Chain A
Amino acid sequence: MAPLLEIRNLSVSLELPNARLHAVRGATVSLDRGQTLGIVGESGSGKSMTALALMRLLPRGAEVNLDRLAFDSQDLTAVPDAVFAREILGRRMAMIFQEPMTSLNPVYTIGRQLTEASVRQGVLSAKVAHQRAIALLDRTGIPDPAGRMSQYPHQLSGGQRQRVMIAMALMMEPELLIADEPTTALDVTVQAQILELLAGLQCEMGMAMILISHDLAVVSEHTDRVAVMYGGEMIEEGRAAEVMAAAKHPYTQALLKAIPRMDGPPVKLAAIPGTVPSTTSIPKACIFASRCDFVRDVCRSGRPPVQGSDEHWRRCILGETELATQRQASPVAAMVRKAVEASTAPVIEARDIVQVFQSRRGLFGPKKEIRAVDGVNLTLKRGETLALVGESGSGKSTLARVMLGLSLPTSGSVLMRGKTLGGMSPRERAALVQPVFQDPYSSLNPRRTLAEIIVRPLELRGDGNSQTRLARVREVMDMVRLPQRLIHNYPAQLSGGQRQRVAIARALVTSPEALVCDEPTSALDVSVQAQILNLLTDLQANLGLSCLVITHDMGVVHQIANRVAVMLKGKLVEEGSTDAVLNHSSHEYTRTLLAAAPRFRAEETRLEFSGHE
């Protein structure tokens, strides 16, 4: 039987202000009815562009070239845009997007948005569409589905909006559903539910699905086949379980080693050096050559061949035996997670912290109180990495601000090295603790050079003269492994990982005793996250730093933390050593969080499962 979807040699290029970006080159995809394909890649790999090209949703100025595009044996290249929009979009192909908060029209009701397309296209009558919408909302697990129909998007949470998006995509029972990072913007526990829901619906309706994600673990759990993209090219494709268990491209292998795993003790992550090259010209060599551990001369002078079978192919020059030896050749170094002794002196102590926010609707509306932090005691001890875990709205960032001394709690006190915060000057406080923020793209002043950014805390404190300051800047740049040649560059000239290093360097320049890192890696790609996590681990070991790391990622916790504190609705619900909390958690909420964290399923079961097909 002919496949449902066949794309051969798809290329997408985008108009940039001063260049043409070849975002996708030569992508080839084939998908049978009822099958699921995962497309995995880091940011800039072209995975979303591939999907948008298929749906004809590319931005203005994008150019698409391809050899073949067939859907249900129909040649789509011959179908004009208007006909495609009328007969295919929404009806036979539907898509779910990454941003549930902004993907629904704010001025129309949920009901109207669910039903309008099917009624307008004459697929369903208004009455049937209404009933079907309610049934689908119910199926997606939204409470009171009938009542939701007359509500507006802003009255729903992010997870609920994504459920509405899913219901909307399924209204006309499409044969192909594309889900582009459907869970990236959601909390972990919600992520797991949404993925389960998608998998269940895909099975029930027998539709084919393309799941696009940066997360190999997520994709491998929910798809039959996986295509790995890098720098605009598909570099490996095969059965999901096989790619996970025996990746055949060095990039896929490296990517797998860069993900913090939770089965077994933490090991040093294999970070991929460098960054994804931008492709403003058509490359004439292997695009991964500059970051590949096994690179040879031929890799830099010519395009790599496609090797392997249709079942599992890769775009790499290395043969099977070479690959196997390499897998063994790069040993994994286990790390010892030190236990911090109970008697260790505390660096920051938070005592009975309560933080209440008041909000008022309108000028005369009733006052509303939100207890963001509700009586929390937390101690950061010298030399430890304490992970503060919780979902959005749990109060973890508010608590971190209080512990940094950036905001005054409603009640309770913070002690830094035994002194109350109130009795400390900002200068003293800054010498003790420094923050590192989540988004390195917005937390650095774009109009200052690296040297100016990093030296700023020293200037504010009036430490030393310009010579000693510059020497100190160079020193911390070395510490965070930023090349000295970047010292006069601007943040815009750096990659995400380099920017986060700058943020860490700025925090370290005053030699503080503690860092408070708010989601330090969640804005970064997996391979870059590994670099930053390794750096934090090393810094801690070398400098004896104490770190309070706020995160929602249990893999990160497992990788770097000595102790874990779990927050739920403003309260600490569990606290203990990482081993104890991850393996024998006493609180139900922690277990929910752990169960939701995507991990690598035991490969054997997956192979058995796919053997039935």
Chain B
Amino acid sequence: MLRYILLRGVLALAVAFTVSLAAFLLLNVATDPARAIAGEDATPEVVQTIRVRYGLDQPMPVRYAQWLGGVVQGDFGESYYWHKPVAELVAERAGVTIALALAAMAVTILIAIPLGVLAALNPNSWIDRTALGVAVSAQAVPNFWLGLIMIILFSVTFPIFPVSGDATWMHFVLPAFVLGATSVPAVMRLTRTGLIEVMGADYIRTARSKGYSGASLLWRHALRNALLPVISVLAVQLGQKFGGSVITESIFALNGLGRLALESILGADIPTVQMLIFVFAIVFVVMNLLADILNAALDPRIRIG
């Protein structure tokens, strides 16, 4: 088990390094950062001054090495726009995004898994069809539209929740629902097909022959097997919640990483963009690592080869 985790950890580090390199290259080769900072109307002299001031005149490998050296020590450089360390900036904003992502995940899990289980236990019944209908419509509805409709319904027409901001937990209810709803279809369908397959398995027949039925059969024999593939998907979805919160945070005016990303892209704040890409990638990698470890913990066939 320990060996397995270590091996996965090493692979995760390699992925993180590759992502950092890709992020750096994309931002520095595809665009000219100095020109972007200076603005469109700047004279070549101004651009040159900026280039020297931010060290952009140095060769690319040197700059990457410097950046990576800083990253290892937790120093992601200084924001061109906010004029303070990027790491500090990200740390300030991260709390909101983490809260939003986790709440959205909870929404996904609480809706998708029970719905998937119900559908699987009654295949082709009205429950199954309704669940499928919900899934298809949830998939078809765009995020921003759902967000606006939610605001109109539950903040304006029925003023239950605040329209925007991130002061109290009440502020997070609508955004979490909107962000969480996007993952419901995939997770629900996977739960459904997984459980249908497991319920037809020989070992479930064995459990039945031992006197298991109904809820005890589901809890004690079927669910763990059925949820193994769901865990991997949930990990990816959670990663997407972090990176994909840009739209939701903008609609509900939540001051999190998504908005920071939007602002720093618009402001050509390259160190901030670079760190955010790196952080989002690391979140993905860590989530997948966690999913792998959790899968190994739940499935002895992975743990003990």
Q: Give me the interface of A with B, judged by CB distance under 8 Å.
A: 55, 57, 81-82, 85-86, 88-91, 94-95, 97, 99, 102-109, 116-117, 120-121, 152, 154-155, 165, 168-169, 361-364
For residue B211, CB closer than 8 A to chain A, the reply is yes
Pull 12 A–B residue pairs with CB atoms less than 8 Å apart, ordered by A: A85-B211, A89-B211, A90-B210, A102-B203, A103-B203, A106-B300, A107-B224, A107-B300, A116-B220, A168-B206, A362-B7, A362-B305
**Alpha-carbon separation in the docked complex, A103 to B200 (Å):** 11
For residue B106, CB closer than 8 A to chain A, the reply is no
Determine if A97 and B212 form an interchain contact, defined as CB atoms under 8 angstroms apart.
no
Q: 14 new A-B pairs (CB below 8 Å) besides A85-B213, A89-B208, A105-B225?
A: A86-B211, A97-B202, A97-B206, A103-B203, A106-B203, A107-B225, A107-B300, A117-B211, A120-B211, A120-B216, A168-B210, A169-B209, A363-B7, A364-B7
**Alpha-carbon separation in the docked complex, A108 to B4 (Å):** 20
**Alpha-carbon separation in the docked complex, A55 to B213 (Å):** 13
**Alpha-carbon separation in the docked complex, A121 to B206 (Å):** 16
Determine if B214 and A165 form an interchain contact, defined as CB atoms under 8 angstroms apart.
no
From B209, B213, B220, B221, contact of A95 by CB (8 A): B209
Determine if B225 and A106 form an interchain contact, defined as CB atoms under 8 angstroms apart.
yes
Residues of B within 8 A of A95 (CB): 209
**Alpha-carbon separation in the docked complex, A168 to B203 (Å):** 12
- For the complex of A and B, list the 10 residue pairs with the smallest distance between their C-beta atoms, beginning with the closest: A90-B210, A117-B210, A90-B211, A152-B300, A89-B211, A102-B202, A85-B213, A105-B203, A95-B209, A103-B202
**Alpha-carbon separation in the docked complex, A80 to B213 (Å):** 12
**Alpha-carbon separation in the docked complex, A106 to B201 (Å):** 11
**Alpha-carbon separation in the docked complex, A205 to B42 (Å):** 96
Q: Which residue of B lies closest to A364 (CB)?
A: B7
From B214, B220, B301, contact of A152 by CB (8 A): B301
Residues of B within 8 A of A169 (CB): 209
Determine if B203 and A121 form an interchain contact, defined as CB atoms under 8 angstroms apart.
no
Determine if A85 and B304 form an interchain contact, defined as CB atoms under 8 angstroms apart.
no
Residues of B within 8 A of A363 (CB): 7
**Alpha-carbon separation in the docked complex, A121 to B202 (Å):** 22
Q: Which residue of A lies closest to B224 (CB)?
A: A107
Determine if B211 and A102 form an interchain contact, defined as CB atoms under 8 angstroms apart.
no
* Least distance between A119 CB and chain B CB atoms (Å): 11
From A91, A108, A155, A362, contact of B211 by CB (8 A): A91
Tell me the chain B residues, 72-109 only, with Cβ under 8 Å from chain A: none
For residue B205, CB closer than 8 A to chain A, the reply is yes
Residues of B within 8 A of A99 (CB): 202
Contact with A along B216-243 (1 / 0, CB 8 A): 1000110011001000000000000000
For residue B287, CB closer than 8 A to chain A, the reply is no
Q: Which residue of A lies closest to B124 (CB)?
A: A60
* Least distance between A14 CB and chain B CB atoms (Å): 15
* Least distance between B198 CB and chain A CB atoms (Å): 10
Residues of A within 8 A of B208 (CB): 55, 57, 85, 89
Residues of B within 8 A of A97 (CB): 202, 205-206, 209
Q: Which residue of A lies closest to B198 (CB)?
A: A105
Residues of B within 8 A of A154 (CB): 300-301, 304
* Least distance between B9 CB and chain A CB atoms (Å): 13
For residue B207, CB closer than 8 A to chain A, the reply is yes
Q: Which residue of B lies closest to A89 (CB)?
A: B211
* Least distance between B168 CB and chain A CB atoms (Å): 42
Tell me the chain B residues, 246-305 only, with Cβ under 8 Å from chain A: 298-301, 304-305
Residues of A within 8 A of B299 (CB): 106-107
Residues of A within 8 A of B214 (CB): 82
**Alpha-carbon separation in the docked complex, A55 to B209 (Å):** 7
Residues of A within 8 A of B224 (CB): 107
**Alpha-carbon separation in the docked complex, A121 to B213 (Å):** 12
From B7, B203, B209, B301, contact of A90 by CB (8 A): B209
Beyond A82-B214, A154-B301, whether A104 also contacts B7 by CB under 8 A is no
From B202, B205, B212, B305, contact of A117 by CB (8 A): B212
Residues of A within 8 A of B202 (CB): 97, 99, 102-103
Residues of A within 8 A of B209 (CB): 55, 57, 89-90, 94-95, 97, 169
Residues of A within 8 A of B298 (CB): 107
**Alpha-carbon separation in the docked complex, A230 to B194 (Å):** 36
Residues of A within 8 A of B4 (CB): 362
Residues of A within 8 A of B228 (CB): 107
**Alpha-carbon separation in the docked complex, A515 to B41 (Å):** 82
**Alpha-carbon separation in the docked complex, A541 to B216 (Å):** 61
Q: Which residue of A lies closest to B200 (CB)?
A: A59
From A81, A86, A106, A116, contact of B301 by CB (8 A): A106
From A88, A89, A152, contact of B304 by CB (8 A): A152
**Alpha-carbon separation in the docked complex, A57 to B205 (Å):** 7
* Least distance between A560 CB and chain B CB atoms (Å): 34
